[in-house]
Amino acid sequence: MRILMIGDIVGRLGRQTLQTYVPQLKSAYQPDVIVVNAENAANNGRGVTKEIVREFRSLGVHCLTLGNHTWGQSEIFDFIEEEEHLVRPANYPEGTPGKGFTTLSTPKGKVTVMNLMGRSFMSPLTLDCPMKSFEKMYKQISAGHYILVDFHAETTSEKQSFAWFVDGKASAVIGTHTHVQTADERILPKGTAYLTDVGMVGPYDGIIGMERELVIRRYLTQLPVRFEVADGRFQLNAVLLDFDTSTKKARRIKRIRIDEDTPWFQ
C-alpha cells in the first residue's frame, strides 16, 4: 500500500501548483491513495470552498483534511456533512458539524484517515484531548485498516508525544500546520511512520505562505496586521508512505520537496 500525503495547500498559487504536479506525482509514484490538507486552500488562505473540494477531487485526491481554519469560509457549513471524505479535527467538541475520520476502500485494503488537532499554542480553541479522541475513534475501526493521522499542531513536542502514544496502532502520523517541512522522518519501533511536519504547497518566497512584508511589519510594530497570501515562485512539500499489506505497518517514508531551488529528483 502506498499513500501520498501532500501538505497544507495555501491559496490560489497552492492550488495551481497542485494542478501542475499531482499528475506528475501520480505517474512517478503510483500512489494508491492521495490525501491533502485543504484548510488554507481558499484564496485568502483560510478554509476551503465547495468548488475547491470538487477541483481537488477531479485531480484524483481521495481525502481532504482540515485544521484550525476549518471554518474560515462560511459556506463550509453547507457541505461539510455531505462530503464523505472531507474530515475536520475529531477533537472539536461533541456536536460540531462534520466528522473526524473517514474510511477509503481500495483494492489493497481499507484506509482510515483521521484528523486531530494539538492544543499547545492553539488558543482560543477549546479542544478535547487528541490522544483520548484517537482512542475513541480507534475502538470504532475494524481490525486490519491502514490508519493515517493528520496531526495538525504547533509544537514538535506535542506531535512527537502523540506519535509515540499511538505507535503500533496508527500506520502513520504526519504533522501539519507549521507550513515548514521537517527532516525527522522515521519509523517508530512498533511500525508507525512519523514526520513532524510535511510542509506546505504554495508561495515559496513568502513567510509560511503569507506576504513577507506584512509578517515582518507585525513583528516590528507589534500591531495587528491582516496577512495576505503571497504570490510568485512556488513550493510543493509532500510525503510518500509505503506499508506492509499484511501487518499494516510502515516499511518506508520518503519526504518530497519541489521548488525552483530544489530540483525534483525522483
Summarize the annotated binding site for Fe cation as residue ranges.
8, 39-40, 68, 152, 177, 179
| Residues in Cβ contact with 55 at an 8 Å cutoff, skipping those fewer than 6 apart | 15, 19
Rounded CA Rg of the chain? 17
Nearest to 31 by CA among 148, 185, 197, 142: 148
Q: Is 69 a catalytic residue?
A: yes
Distance CA 41, CA 198 (A): 16
Which runs of consecutive H residues, i.e. helices, occur in the chain?
Answer: 11-29, 50-58, 76-79, 130-138, 156-166, 212-221
Sequence ranges of the binding site? 8, 39-40, 68, 152, 177, 179
Q: Which of 62, 69, 85, 145 is catalytic?
A: 69
Three cell numbers, residue 87: 474530515
Q: Where does residue 29 rank: exposed (0-12), middle (13-18), buried (19+ CB within 10 A)?
A: middle
Distance CA 152, CA 157 (A): 13
Q: Which residue numbers are catalytic? A: 69
